[in-house]
């Protein structure tokens, strides 16, 4: 059984030693639990891709303890520095031109000339990053395509036999992955919605919110891993279900309708931040319980709702070997 430790100084020192020795360590951030590896160690990064079953063409996010450390690996520009000043540390990832010294290996970047970087807000995560003293690449600590982990026991259940240590820092307060913004071009692009909303980014950069979504036709996919099946439970998911059908488990919003089967509300008080924090844990729970499918209530699109609906749409994608990009 994998070792699970509370975030003491000793546990953080042990985790940092393991990372420097090329081992995999899972740790909490404010968004979801990450599966960490030394970003400059090819063997460790290869082990990380293998542990998740993640295709190597889907690049990883490197985590650093502060902005100064970030600029050693990513090319600063006015867009990046404006967003960093306002939102770091916090649930924002910036895709920048890579300018490294080997700290983030080509394997971790999936061979791209760009890299994704973030400074998490979680005090435990930052203490670990400081102690490790190198970029720590960390995808969500779940098997590829599966539901993201927001508690240590989710990590243990999904990857327990493939991780050296899990630092248990309790449930993740935000509950959905960081917002990803590409700042490599003249115009910023929102690649993945999260707790830092499109409106917050647009306001900070003084651009219209609609411009963050770029051209919707054609064009190369700029975020490998953004368009496909992901975050998925084992059971089929039915979205925008105003009421559950017999035999379904129900993930509701606000007050629950009468239902002869499992039913839980993302937020009884219709609080969108509470719903985001509950999303993955409730999907884990309904997936493990009774019911042949999971029906999900319509969720408003405002604030964190955009991130919740993005994850739900991907989770509802049918299984397709060819479209697995695995996050």
The residues that touch Mg ion, with contacts defined as CB under 5 A, are 140, 327
Note whether 144 and 326 are within 8 A (CB). yes
Alpha helices per DSSP H over the chain:
9-20, 42-52, 67-71, 78-87, 123-132, 152-159, 198-205, 272-288, 305-315
Q: Which of 14, 18, 69, 116 binds ligand TXA (CB under 6 A)?
A: 116
In the stretch 165-204, what mask flags binding to ligand TXA with x, by CB under 6 A? ------------xx-x----------xx------------
In the stretch 207-236, what mask flags binding to ligand TXA with x, by CB under 6 A? ---------------xxxxx----------
Size of the site for ligand TXA (CB under 6 A): 29
Residue (of 191, 193, 175, 194) closest to 276 by Cα position: 175
Shortest Å, Cβ 95 to ligand TXA:
4
Q: CA 159 to CA 51: how far, in whole Å? A: 7
Note whether 32 and 140 are within 8 A (CB). yes
Contacts of 147 (CB under 8 A, 6+ apart): 154, 231, 232, 233, 280, 283, 284, 287, 315
- Among ligand TXA, Mg ion, none, what does residue 226 contact (CB within 5–8 Å per kind)? ligand TXA
Q: Which of 44, 65, 70, 93 binds ligand TXA (CB under 6 A)?
A: 93
Q: Which of 24, 37, 51, 95 binds ligand TXA (CB under 6 A)?
A: 95
Q: Which stretch binds ligand TXA (CB under 6 A): 1-9, 59-67, 160-168, 235-243?
A: 59-67
Evaluated on CA atoms 242, 245, 250, 251, the torsion sign reads negative
| Sites of contact with ligand TXA (CB under 6 A) | 29, 31-32, 34, 58-61, 93, 95, 109, 112, 114-116, 138-140, 177-178, 180, 191-192, 222-226, 327
């Amino acid at each position: 059984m994998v070792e699970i430790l509370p975030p003491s100084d000793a546990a953080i020192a042990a985790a940092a030693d393991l990372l420097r020795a090329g081992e995999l360590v899972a740790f909490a951030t404010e968004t979801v639990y990450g599966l960490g590896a030394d970003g400059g160690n090819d063997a460790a990064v290869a082990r990380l891709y293998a542990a998740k079953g993640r295709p190597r063409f889907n690049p990883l996010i490197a985590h650093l303890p502060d902005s100064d450390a970030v600029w050693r690996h990513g090319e600063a520009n006015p867009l990046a520095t404006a967003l960093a000043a306002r939102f770091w540390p916090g649930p924002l990832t910036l895709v920048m031109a890579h300018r490294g010294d080997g700290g983030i290996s080509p394997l971790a970047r999936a061979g791209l000339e760009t890299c994704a970087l973030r400074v998490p807000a979680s005090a435990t995560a930052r203490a670990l990053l400081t102690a490790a003293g190198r970029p720590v690449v960390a995808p969500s600590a779940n098997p590829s395509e599966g539901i993201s982990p927001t508690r240590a026991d989710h990590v243990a259940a999904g990857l327990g036999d493939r991780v050296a240590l899990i630092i248990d820092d309790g449930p993740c307060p935000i509950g959905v992955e960081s917002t990803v913004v590409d700042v490599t071009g003249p115009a910023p692009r929102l690649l993945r919605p999260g707790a830092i909303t499109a409106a917050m980014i647009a306001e900070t950069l003084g651009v219209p919110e609609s411009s963050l979504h770029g051209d919707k036709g054609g064009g190369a996919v700029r975020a490998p891993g953004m368009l496909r099946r992901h975050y998925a439970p084992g059971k089929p998911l039915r979205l925008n279900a105003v009421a559950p059908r017999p035999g379904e488990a129900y993930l509701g919003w606000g007050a629950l309708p009468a239902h002869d089967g499992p039913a839980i509300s993302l937020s009884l008080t219709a609080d969108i931040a509470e719903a985001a924090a509950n999303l993955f844990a409730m999907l884990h729970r309904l997936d493990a319980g009774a019911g042949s499918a999971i029906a999900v209530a319509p969720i408003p699109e405002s604030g964190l709702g955009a991130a919740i609906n993005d994850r739900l749409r991907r989770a509802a994608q049918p299984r397709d070997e060819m479209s697995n990009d695995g996050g």
